[in-house]
Amino acid sequence: MKIKRIVISALILTCGFTAVPQTSKKALSAHNKIHSEQLANAKSRMDKNVITNMLREDIAKKEEHTISEESSKMISDLLSEAHRYIGRPYVHGAKGPKAFDCSGFTSYVYRQFGYTISPSSRTQYTEGTNVERNDLRKGDLVFFTSRRSGKNVGHVGIVVSADNESGDFKFIHASVKGVKVSDFEGYYLGRYVGARRIITE
């Protein structure tokens, strides 16, 4: 009888001990599930925040670069004026309208619309506001080094069209071959310095 009680007690203890791991596994599984859900919810909130911030930045960026209808019309007229001088010869130090050097050309064209900018390309590079290449728009001034300027600004032109996705653009300028429209390629690729915006409103 005593032996029977001992055996029964042993069985009860064995069953009790084997039940603990099963309970622990269920609890662990439930905890992991809750943890996974919490992570998913946190990620969802983070994703929403990231998307919201991106949209806000995009809207702010568009608002920053939006110009008035009046300024847009002025830029269009400015480019039409610039195109009038295509073919005019390049003469170092010439300020137009019969001949131009690069900065003489840009300062002359802008002056026709009430904007006084320096006849020096290096000084023009300090005027207006800075513009990233992927934010260029028509009318912006683009600057390059030249064969004689070393690493300093030595040439300038006016953007006539821009592809903000690729960063490519076309610009009108007084080159050594006269006033012409050029693509941002070849010679100019490695000489690009930066851009400035004169008409900001």
C-alpha distances in Å from residue 144, one per residue of 36, 102, 116, 151, 187: 55, 11, 21, 9, 10
**Which one from 15, 65, 83, 155 is the annotated catalytic residue?**
155
pLDDT exceeds cutoff 50 at 16: no
Domain range list for the chain: 1-66, 67-197
Residue whose structure tokens are 């990231």: 50
**Catalytic site residue 155?**
yes
pLDDT of residue 10: 45
**Catalytic site residue 31?**
no
CATH architecture group of domain 67-197: Alpha-Beta Complex (3.90)
Average pLDDT over residues 71-99: 98
Average pLDDT over residues 85-99: 98
Is residue 122 very low, low, confident or very high in pLDDT (cuts 50, 70, 90)? very high
Is residue 136 very low, low, confident or very high in pLDDT (cuts 50, 70, 90)? very high
**Which one from 35, 83, 92, 102 is the annotated catalytic residue?**
102
pLDDT exceeds cutoff 60 at 72: yes
pLDDT in tens, 175-192: 999 999 999 999 999 999
**Catalytic site residue 173?**
yes
- What residues does 180 pair with on adjacent strands? 173
